Amino acid sequence: DAGVTQSPTHLIKTRGQHVTLRCSPISGHKSVSWYQQVLGQGPQFIFQYYEKEERGRGNFPDRFSARQFPNYSSELNVNALLLGDSALYLCASSLEAGPTNEKLFFGSGTQLSVL
Amino acid sequence: AQSVTQLGSHVSVSEGALVLLRCNYSSSVPPYLFWYVQYPNQGLQLLLKYTSAATLVKGINGFEAEFKKSETSFHLTKPSAHMSDAAEYFCAVSYTGGFKTIFGAGTRLFVKA
Protein backbone atom coordinates (compact mmCIF):
# COMPACT_ATOMS: atom_id res chain seq x y z
CA ASP A 1 0.00 0.00 0.00
CA ALA A 2 1.16 3.52 -0.77
CA GLY A 3 2.12 5.72 2.15
CA VAL A 4 1.35 9.40 2.53
CA THR A 5 2.34 11.18 -0.66
CA GLN A 6 3.11 14.86 -0.97
CA SER A 7 3.72 17.03 -4.00
CA PRO A 8 5.80 18.74 -5.06
CA THR A 9 8.92 17.58 -3.22
CA HIS A 10 10.70 20.90 -3.69
CA LEU A 11 9.46 24.37 -4.51
CA ILE A 12 11.11 27.74 -4.93
CA LYS A 13 9.02 30.90 -4.72
CA THR A 14 9.63 34.61 -4.29
CA ARG A 15 8.25 36.87 -1.59
CA GLY A 16 4.61 37.84 -2.08
CA GLN A 17 3.74 34.84 -4.21
CA HIS A 18 1.18 32.18 -3.41
CA VAL A 19 1.84 28.43 -3.05
CA THR A 20 -0.32 25.29 -2.96
CA LEU A 21 0.97 22.07 -1.45
CA ARG A 22 -0.81 18.75 -1.90
CA CYS A 23 -1.17 15.62 0.18
CA SER A 24 -2.74 12.23 -0.35
CA PRO A 25 -3.29 10.22 2.84
CA ILE A 26 -2.94 6.49 3.28
CA SER A 27 -5.94 4.68 1.88
CA GLY A 28 -8.65 4.46 4.53
CA HIS A 29 -7.30 7.34 6.61
CA LYS A 30 -9.82 10.12 7.09
CA SER A 31 -7.72 12.63 8.99
CA VAL A 32 -4.97 14.84 7.57
CA SER A 33 -2.75 17.18 9.55
CA TRP A 34 -0.24 19.73 8.32
CA TYR A 35 2.98 20.64 10.10
CA GLN A 36 5.70 23.20 9.41
CA GLN A 37 9.29 22.19 10.22
CA VAL A 38 11.81 25.01 10.17
CA LEU A 39 15.44 23.92 9.90
CA GLY A 40 16.74 22.84 13.28
CA GLN A 41 13.33 22.74 14.96
CA GLY A 42 10.58 20.24 15.58
CA PRO A 43 7.39 20.18 13.51
CA GLN A 44 4.83 22.86 14.40
CA PHE A 45 1.12 22.08 14.03
CA ILE A 46 -0.75 24.10 11.40
CA PHE A 47 -4.08 22.37 10.71
CA GLN A 48 -6.02 19.18 11.23
CA TYR A 49 -8.84 18.15 8.92
CA TYR A 50 -11.25 15.28 9.40
CA GLU A 51 -14.12 14.38 7.09
CA LYS A 52 -13.53 17.64 5.16
CA GLU A 53 -13.93 19.80 8.24
CA GLU A 54 -11.26 21.77 10.06
CA ARG A 55 -10.86 20.24 13.52
CA GLY A 56 -7.97 22.28 14.77
CA ARG A 57 -5.70 25.17 13.88
CA GLY A 58 -2.30 26.11 15.21
CA ASN A 59 -0.85 29.54 15.82
CA PHE A 60 -0.37 30.55 12.21
CA PRO A 61 -1.58 33.70 10.41
CA ASP A 62 -4.61 33.79 8.13
CA ARG A 63 -2.28 33.66 5.14
CA PHE A 64 -2.29 29.92 5.79
CA SER A 65 -5.38 27.99 4.76
CA ALA A 66 -6.23 24.42 3.91
CA ARG A 67 -9.02 22.19 2.75
CA GLN A 68 -9.82 18.50 2.49
CA PHE A 69 -11.55 16.91 -0.46
CA PRO A 70 -14.15 14.09 -0.58
CA ASN A 71 -11.38 11.58 -1.33
CA TYR A 72 -9.62 12.79 1.88
CA SER A 73 -6.72 14.37 0.03
CA SER A 74 -5.77 17.83 1.19
CA GLU A 75 -4.24 21.11 0.04
CA LEU A 76 -2.32 23.65 2.07
CA ASN A 77 -2.32 27.17 0.69
CA VAL A 78 -0.03 29.99 1.73
CA ASN A 79 -0.59 33.52 0.44
CA ALA A 80 1.75 36.50 0.41
CA LEU A 81 4.83 34.40 1.08
CA LEU A 82 7.47 35.70 3.48
CA LEU A 83 11.09 34.65 3.79
CA GLY A 84 10.20 33.08 7.13
CA ASP A 85 7.80 30.68 5.44
CA SER A 86 10.80 28.75 4.12
CA ALA A 87 10.50 25.33 5.72
CA LEU A 88 9.72 21.67 5.24
CA TYR A 89 5.95 21.22 5.18
CA LEU A 90 4.86 17.83 6.40
CA CYS A 91 1.53 16.14 5.91
CA ALA A 92 0.44 13.39 8.28
CA SER A 93 -2.55 11.11 8.10
CA SER A 94 -4.32 9.00 10.70
CA LEU A 95 -7.37 6.77 10.81
CA GLU A 96 -9.52 9.02 12.92
CA ALA A 97 -9.54 12.54 14.26
CA GLY A 98 -7.77 13.18 17.48
CA PRO A 99 -4.93 12.68 17.65
CA THR A 100 -5.23 11.36 21.22
CA ASN A 101 -3.21 8.19 21.00
CA GLU A 102 -3.42 7.96 17.26
CA LYS A 103 -0.23 7.21 15.44
CA LEU A 104 0.61 9.74 12.75
CA PHE A 105 1.91 8.57 9.38
CA PHE A 106 4.05 11.25 7.76
CA GLY A 107 4.87 11.99 4.17
CA SER A 108 8.37 12.98 3.11
CA GLY A 109 7.39 16.61 2.97
CA THR A 110 7.58 19.54 0.59
CA GLN A 111 10.68 21.70 0.94
CA LEU A 112 9.62 25.30 0.30
CA SER A 113 12.24 27.96 -0.27
CA VAL A 114 11.14 31.60 -0.40
CA LEU A 115 13.65 33.98 -1.99
CA ALA B 1 -0.24 24.27 28.41
CA GLN B 2 1.37 21.16 27.07
CA SER B 3 5.02 21.27 26.02
CA VAL B 4 8.00 19.04 25.39
CA THR B 5 11.64 19.69 26.21
CA GLN B 6 14.43 17.60 24.75
CA LEU B 7 17.71 17.98 26.60
CA GLY B 8 20.63 18.17 24.19
CA SER B 9 20.26 19.17 20.58
CA HIS B 10 23.14 16.83 19.65
CA VAL B 11 24.23 13.53 21.19
CA SER B 12 27.26 11.56 20.02
CA VAL B 13 27.94 7.93 20.97
CA SER B 14 30.29 5.22 19.79
CA GLU B 15 28.95 2.22 17.93
CA GLY B 16 27.91 -0.39 20.49
CA ALA B 17 27.49 2.13 23.30
CA LEU B 18 24.30 2.96 25.19
CA VAL B 19 22.00 5.52 23.61
CA LEU B 20 20.10 7.83 25.98
CA LEU B 21 17.97 10.67 24.61
CA ARG B 22 16.18 12.77 27.20
CA CYS B 23 12.64 14.11 27.07
CA ASN B 24 10.60 15.94 29.67
CA TYR B 25 7.02 16.99 29.19
CA SER B 26 4.61 19.41 30.72
CA SER B 27 0.93 18.51 30.74
CA SER B 28 -2.00 19.37 32.96
CA VAL B 29 -3.79 16.20 31.90
CA PRO B 30 -2.58 12.62 31.41
CA PRO B 31 -0.47 12.67 28.28
CA TYR B 32 0.07 10.37 25.38
CA LEU B 33 3.79 10.32 24.60
CA PHE B 34 5.61 9.42 21.42
CA TRP B 35 9.10 9.15 20.00
CA TYR B 36 9.55 9.68 16.27
CA VAL B 37 12.69 9.33 14.15
CA GLN B 38 13.52 11.35 11.05
CA TYR B 39 16.17 10.26 8.57
CA PRO B 40 17.60 12.83 6.13
CA ASN B 41 15.15 13.98 3.47
CA GLN B 42 12.37 11.86 4.91
CA GLY B 43 9.26 12.32 7.00
CA LEU B 44 8.91 11.21 10.60
CA GLN B 45 8.46 7.57 11.53
CA LEU B 46 6.99 6.38 14.81
CA LEU B 47 9.45 4.53 17.08
CA LEU B 48 7.12 3.93 20.01
CA LYS B 49 4.23 5.39 21.97
CA TYR B 50 3.03 5.43 25.57
CA THR B 51 -0.71 5.27 26.16
CA SER B 52 -0.87 4.33 29.88
CA ALA B 53 -0.94 0.55 29.38
CA ALA B 54 2.63 0.03 30.65
CA THR B 55 5.32 2.40 31.83
CA LEU B 56 8.10 0.64 29.91
CA VAL B 57 7.41 0.78 26.21
CA LYS B 58 9.29 -1.20 23.60
CA GLY B 59 9.51 0.09 20.07
CA ILE B 60 11.09 -0.74 16.76
CA ASN B 61 14.81 -1.15 16.07
CA GLY B 62 15.60 -2.09 19.69
CA PHE B 63 14.55 1.22 21.22
CA GLU B 64 12.55 1.52 24.42
CA ALA B 65 11.33 4.33 26.66
CA GLU B 66 10.16 4.53 30.25
CA PHE B 67 7.37 6.81 31.43
CA LYS B 68 8.13 8.32 34.84
CA LYS B 69 5.24 10.41 36.04
CA SER B 70 7.06 11.69 39.14
CA GLU B 71 9.84 13.05 36.94
CA THR B 72 7.56 13.98 34.00
CA SER B 73 10.06 12.22 31.78
CA PHE B 74 9.97 9.84 28.85
CA HIS B 75 13.61 9.13 28.00
CA LEU B 76 14.51 6.99 24.99
CA THR B 77 17.19 4.31 25.29
CA LYS B 78 18.88 1.63 23.24
CA PRO B 79 21.48 -0.71 24.77
CA SER B 80 23.83 -0.79 21.79
CA ALA B 81 24.04 1.88 19.11
CA HIS B 82 24.33 1.00 15.46
CA MET B 83 25.58 3.21 12.67
CA SER B 84 22.12 3.09 11.11
CA ASP B 85 20.66 4.78 14.23
CA ALA B 86 22.18 8.11 13.21
CA ALA B 87 19.16 10.38 12.68
CA GLU B 88 17.07 13.11 14.29
CA TYR B 89 14.79 11.99 17.14
CA PHE B 90 11.68 13.85 18.25
CA CYS B 91 9.74 13.44 21.46
CA ALA B 92 6.07 14.40 21.20
CA VAL B 93 2.97 14.69 23.38
CA SER B 94 -0.75 14.72 22.78
CA TYR B 95 -3.73 14.37 25.08
CA THR B 96 -7.35 13.24 25.16
CA GLY B 97 -9.61 15.79 23.56
CA GLY B 98 -6.77 17.52 21.80
CA PHE B 99 -6.31 17.78 18.08
CA LYS B 100 -2.61 18.24 17.71
CA THR B 101 0.65 16.53 18.54
CA ILE B 102 3.27 18.81 20.11
CA PHE B 103 6.86 18.05 19.17
CA GLY B 104 10.10 18.82 20.92
CA ALA B 105 12.93 20.57 19.10
CA GLY B 106 14.65 17.29 18.35
CA THR B 107 17.95 15.61 19.21
CA ARG B 108 20.37 14.68 16.47
CA LEU B 109 22.14 11.41 17.22
CA PHE B 110 25.63 10.83 15.82
CA VAL B 111 27.15 7.35 15.94
CA LYS B 112 30.94 7.06 15.70
CA ALA B 113 32.65 3.98 14.32
Tell whether A103 lies on the interface with B, counting CB pairs under 8 A: yes
Which of B41, B100, B104 is nearest residue A99 as measured by Cβ atoms?
B100
Average pLDDT over residues A1-7: 87
CA–CA distance, A90 with A74 (Å, rounded to integer):
12
Return the pLDDT at A98: 58
- H or E segment and range at residue A84: none
B28: left (phi over 0), alpha (psi -120 to 50) or beta: alpha
**C-beta of residue B102 within 8 angstroms of C-beta of residue B4:** yes
Asked if A108 lies within 8 A of B42 by C-beta distance, the reply is: yes
**C-beta of residue B88 within 8 angstroms of C-beta of residue B9:** no
Residue B41 confidence class, pLDDT cut points 50, 70, 90: confident
Residue B97 predicted with pLDDT over 60 = yes
Average pLDDT over residues B24-36: 87
- H or E segment and range at residue A56: strand A53-57
| List of residues 6+ apart from A71 with CB closer than 8 A | none
A30: left (phi over 0), alpha (psi -120 to 50) or beta: alpha
Tell whether A90 lies on the interface with B, counting CB pairs under 8 A: yes
